[in-house]
Structure 1
């Protein structure tokens, strides 16, 4: 079992433990570590064990625990907030036209899609990036961008003036719609894990087989966590601002609404990223009754483990 997974097995049993460790792992300064230092840290872990805290932190932030591949800098967990925060804010702005809204949505879903792919739980058979996966990923990004820009298109194309409809399209719909699209992004882009399966391990860390059911469970859990993350980040600023802008101070200073909205979204994202990553354990468990018969026939274990990915 990879040292990352062993670490989460012993130190990630409760939500507070996982949240505390993710706060450390998400340190943006880890992005400054050069590739050679990351490789050295991994080599030290392989020879010295997980008691080297700094090395383990570098590996958790930079290396996929299943493949052992170094993750591209832009898709590492410490880069998630700096990269996605401005893109997430751009998708909730009032755009002049549907084209601008579509471009912002496409950039946002392409970035989160790349993160989903780089931090997935790939097996040895799925490390390569086939044409089918490329087409599915591109289609998922374009579909999410189209659906995400649809409210802007309706507003501009039909010049909606009804206050109730404007409230629905501008304030109520974006949060749930973003949550659904982010979950859909994960389900499609990491669909190979459901189709081909992911490696499952016994209590000793030995790989016992590749399970499609475990892959489906891992992707489904990650999709739910991503929906929670971005759905909350989009909903809460609008709800809070709709309340506070009724005060006399904001009525006289409407120009502060935009910056205040941006600050609130970044702050909520900064809090919700470790929450969503910690909500479900990194080292997932699946019961024997849910595993394919051909796998459980060779072992008496009642519970199996898998890397959920991020």
Structure 2
């Protein structure tokens, strides 16, 4: 095979199926990639760019190209090509998320602990949401600050309010408070951090990536899917793990090793996230589509003038 004609941007797996997307996201959310140096990541980017230009270095194998693309997708923004900050990458979701979620589930009994860990979690989420936004829609520092404060306040109000409300509820109900707070905050944090997309629209393209205009309705659809994915990412660990811990803590051995409860929860959350990060990202295609008939009237008319009725769907990057 002539690797100079190799289409490195063509998905390795079929992105129209859940299984194909799952394989793709298992690949690019691999937490081991966060251990690589910036120099190694830049080498991967250089090889990807050379392949795009049709100048693959002699001796390069197809597998090396696939691995370079894996590193590129894990560390560089799909819109800008810029290297993303390490903490905001989806490949950091497992190590970062397991630590924060584990401590949220362990330290849920007192208001100060709830406040601190919800603040840490929302700070982490804000950075992840900003890093994985659709970069074609810039956001100002003021808007970032407002989004961060709004989401953090929502999470704290939900967590503290439910924490006080569930004082007399069964212990298991109190253990589910962190998930309720995380779900509520995600419904605020993500739309607020990506508000420019809702206000000004998101770039939509035809199947050949020709830009057609900006659509607010496409932005709403993409952000809604991201919110659902993020809630789904957290749900199994934050719903099932409290049930497991509630039962385990009744055994005498567990009562004698209370100092190990937090590390145990961190590790168990990690097990959930290893599978749930790629699975949640795979729920919807990243290259999202929307019917032309559902676009804003002025954009729909513009497209119909250009394509007639031959173009039924337009496409856009929904972000992660």
Q: TM-score, normalised by structure 2?
A: 0.81
Q: Which of 106, 118, 130 pairs up with 1:105?
A: 118
Q: Which of 287, 290, 293 pairs up with 2:294?
A: 290
Tell me the CA shift for residue 256 of structure 1: 5.6
Cα distance in 1, alignment partners of residues 188 and 319 from structure 2: 16
Unpaired segments ≥5 residues, structure 1: none
- Change in 2 beyond 3 A, CA 1:303/1:48: same
Q: Which of 45, 66, 70 pairs up with 2:83?
A: 70
Cα distance in 2, alignment partners of residues 205 and 33 from structure 1: 32
Contact 2:151–2:185 at 8 Å: present in 1 too? no
Contact 1:110–1:141 at 8 Å: present in 2 too? no
| Partner residue in 1 for 2:71 | 58
Is 1:279–2:283 an aligned residue pair? yes
| Partner residue in 1 for 2:180 | 176
Q: Deviations over 1:22-73 (max 9, x none)?
A: 1111223323142532441342243139973122212211122123222112
Q: TM-score, normalised by structure 1?
A: 0.84
Q: Which of 44, 55, 63 pairs up with 2:50?
A: 44
Is 1:241–2:245 an aligned residue pair? yes
Q: Which of 198, 206, 211 pairs up with 2:210?
A: 206
| Partner residue in 2 for 1:27 | 30
| Partner residue in 2 for 1:7 | 11
SS of 1:82's partner is helix
User: How many residue pairs are counted as aligned between the two chains?
Assistant: 298
**RMSD, matched Cα:** 2.9
Q: Which of 181, 196, 200 pairs up with 1:196?
A: 200
SS of 1:286's partner is strand
Is 1:140–2:150 an aligned residue pair? yes
- Change in 2 beyond 3 A, CA 1:29/1:253: closer
Contact 2:8–2:48 at 8 Å: present in 1 too? no
Cα distance in 1, alignment partners of residues 146 and 89 from structure 2: 22
Q: Deviations over 1:157-197 (max 9, x none)?
A: x9x4x3x36543x2243323322222322122122211121
- Change in 2 beyond 3 A, CA 1:220/1:15: same
Cα distance in 2, alignment partners of residues 282 and 49 from structure 1: 28
Moved more, 199-208 or 137-146: 137-146
